Structure 1
Amino acid sequence: MQLIMKLAFKLVRLNHYLIAALTLALVAISSALAYLIEPETFGTLFNAIWWVMTTVATVGYGDYFPKTVPGKVLAMFLYVFGIGLLSLLIGKIIDSIASFHKRRESGKLKVQESNHILVINWSKKAQLAVEELLSSEPGIHIVIIDDGDKHPYDRPNVQFVSGDPTSIEVLAMANIHAARSAIIFADPRIDDASLVDGKSLLIVSSIEQAAPAVHTTVEIVIEKHILNFRHVQVNDFILSHDAVSRLAVRSALKEGSVDLFTQLLSKQFGEDVFDITPDPAWLTYGDAFAALLRQGATLIADRTDMSINRKLDMKIPAEARLFVISNEDTIHKIRSERRY
């Protein structure tokens, strides 16, 4: 009995790959022995495998069973070792699944996805951003990086990496090199506004060092810090209270205009802003404006230039990036027709 206990203790300490290999070997050898001992009983090797599997799985249908003493001895061996080994394998699999979920929940899994979006520093604004991203592109993969120790928004396509986002190692866990872009929100847990921007600046510096090609958007609390962020080549920055203040003014001066801006800010309802590749047949902005208008879209800008409706006779430059106001169905139709 002591020998069996020692053997069982050693088996429990084996890794699941070795236990899986031992289980397969046990099934294969036992099936071959069963067929060699009683070929008349089982008829084919497959039937012998079937009997071994139903025995070690404790199903025992009774359609096949050994009739000779050697066959019964083999069956008793399977009762003692086969059932225990299979149970151990199943337990290891369950433990692995539980461990995987625990590591995922605590943000300890390395991100394997690519072309994903990083959302750094969790807050209510970050949650709204994640919800807007999922609404805009349902198949998009999002990675949240935060100092917390529990997944703050456990949804499909949303992974969590726990740790200090200023750390290169943490950014590497989030697969920063394969990321599409990163959005850095002001950390709401820091009271001093200067320290909030200081942390954001350190995060951006780490991203620029690790993956300079990744597009970065940063929320800035104090306006005078904008110059500091320009030095680290931030692609876009948003003043923390700027958008809210401006929308409030628009609402006060131009009643009802806030709904228009809300539609353009969100893909969840109404019209939206889309970029579109210029058609080679369009020579001027006027050609593009007229062609898109006929298809149900309104041309509004070339990159940041929103005055092109006063430059309709101007030729479209080769590096142009046009933006239109449209809905999802219309822009999808325009892009689909462009492929043919």
Structure 2
Amino acid sequence: MQQQWYYIRTLLGHVPLVIKLLFAVITSGVAAGAIVHIIEPNRFPTLFEGIWWAFITVSTVGYGDFVPESTLARLVAIVLIFVGVGFMTLLVTSFAGAAVSINQSTKEGSISFIGEQHLVIIGWNERARQVIENIHASHPHTRIVLIDETLTELPKTIKQVHFVRGNSSEDAVLKQANIALAKSVLITAKHQGSEFTADAKTILTILAIKGLNRELFTTVEILSTEQMENAYRAGADQCIESNSITGSLLTVSLLHRQMLDVTFHFISYGQFAQVQFVSVKKEEVGMTMPDLLPLYYKRGLHIIGLKRSERLLFHPPPSFLIELHDELVTIKINKAT
């Protein structure tokens, strides 16, 4: 008997407090309703009406449609008020406390993300902020998960982003972001410390991600040219050497100042969103660029290059012939006047 009681206590110890309180409220309400139905069958002709009165009393609403008259029924009401109302008060405060706790945990990044086909961004910085803003502007319903170990909580200016706090190279943190069901991931580089250390951390994160989801498309920011090959070897699908891009822009600023605004305008997200690949049609095979330009212009597209296999060719010579599996690099023509 003692061993059975021990098992019962152990089982109850694993039941959440909210469930215990909810059970106590229901039990006390049903028991009190059944008792007053037995004591005063004329005032409470059905069991449901007794239970209805008990829960109205416990909730402190007190409609007054059912009122016990006998002394014994009123004693039951007094007990119900002390016991049932006490349990109800604890239940409501427990629910409120749980809601506040969940909200705080979400802000602090300790709640797991439940969802799929979401985008994961690793590392909080100005570049990550701009990426999030661009995604929200063009695809407002896309779900985003941000992983960072430096933030104590998600900035108030960032909305509709699930925050996970922790080291992105740890499996537990990646699982918390539900990396197995993600659509794609972006790893931004840390500019603190040496470039080698930042790239090494990025490569370690790639290995951890690919260990959990080998098919996940992974875009990474690399700071040094020497680590590009290591990033691809680790499993990166696309690498962006940010220092090289910045260096090119600085060179344009120094040598071709009048072209800097044009360059910035073209590489802005709004302009890149207009760029698209168009597969060549069978009837276009064997044609030249001068032949295709007016045809696509009528379709609202301007051809700026061509992709053949893995090679990108911009402004190929007029005699260049189109092949079957080529893709045209086009940009939508702005119809605004």
**Distance change in 2, residues 1:214/1:323 (3 Å):** farther
In 2, Cα distance between equivalents of 1:112 and 1:139: 15
The 1-side partners of 2:262 and 2:297 are apart by 23
8 A contact 2:18–2:94 mirrored in 1: yes
Q: 1:101 Cα deviation (Å)?
A: 1.7
- Partner SS, residue 92 of structure 1: helix
**Equivalent position SS for 2:42:** helix
CA distance in 1, matches of 2:201, 2:119: 20
Identity among equivalent pairs (%): 23
> Comparing 212-221 with 41-50, which one deviates more in the overlay?
41-50
Distance 1:164 1:83, change over 3 A: same
Structure 2 residue 107 is matched with structure 1 residue 100: no
Equivalent residues, number = 315
The 5 A counterparts of 1:91-240 are 91-148=93-150, 150-153=152-155, 155-188=158-191, 190-240=192-242
Change in 2 beyond 3 A, CA 1:55/1:32: same
Cross-structure match for 1:334: none
| d(CA) in 2 for partners of 1:179, 1:201 | 19
Q: Deviations over 1:219-269 (max 9, x none)?
A: 1222222222232232111222332333344456263663564355323xx
Aligned to 1:18: 20
Could you tell me which amino acid in structure 2 is paired with residue 37 of structure 1? I
Larger Rg: 2
Report what 2:256 is aligned to.
Answer: 253
What do the CA deviations read for 1:102-137 (whole angstroms, capped 9, x no partner)?
221222222222111221121222222222222221
Instruction: Provide Cα deviations, 1:178-231, integer angstroms capped at 9, x if missing partner.
Output: 11122111113x322211111112111222222221111221222222222232
1:83 is matched with 85
Moved more, 191-200 or 222-231: 222-231
SS in 1 for 2:312: coil
| TM-score normalised over the length of structure 1 | 0.78
2:322 to 301, 314, 318: 314
**Map of 1:296 onto structure 2:** 300
What's the secondary structure of 1:40's corresponding residue?
Answer: coil
| Structure 1 residue ranges without an equivalent (≥5) | 1-9, 330-340
Please say if residues 118 and 144 of structure 1, whose CA atoms lie closer than 8 Å, have aligned partners that are also in contact. Answer: yes
1:64 aligns with 2:66: yes
AA partner of residue 326 (structure 1): K
**Pairwise CA RMSD:** 3.5
* Contact 1:118 1:183 (8 Å CA) reproduced: yes
Residue 271 of structure 1 contacts residue 326 of structure 1 at CA under 8 Å; is this kept in 2? no
TM-score, normalised to structure 2, is 0.78
Query: 1:80, CA displacement in angstroms?
Result: 0.7
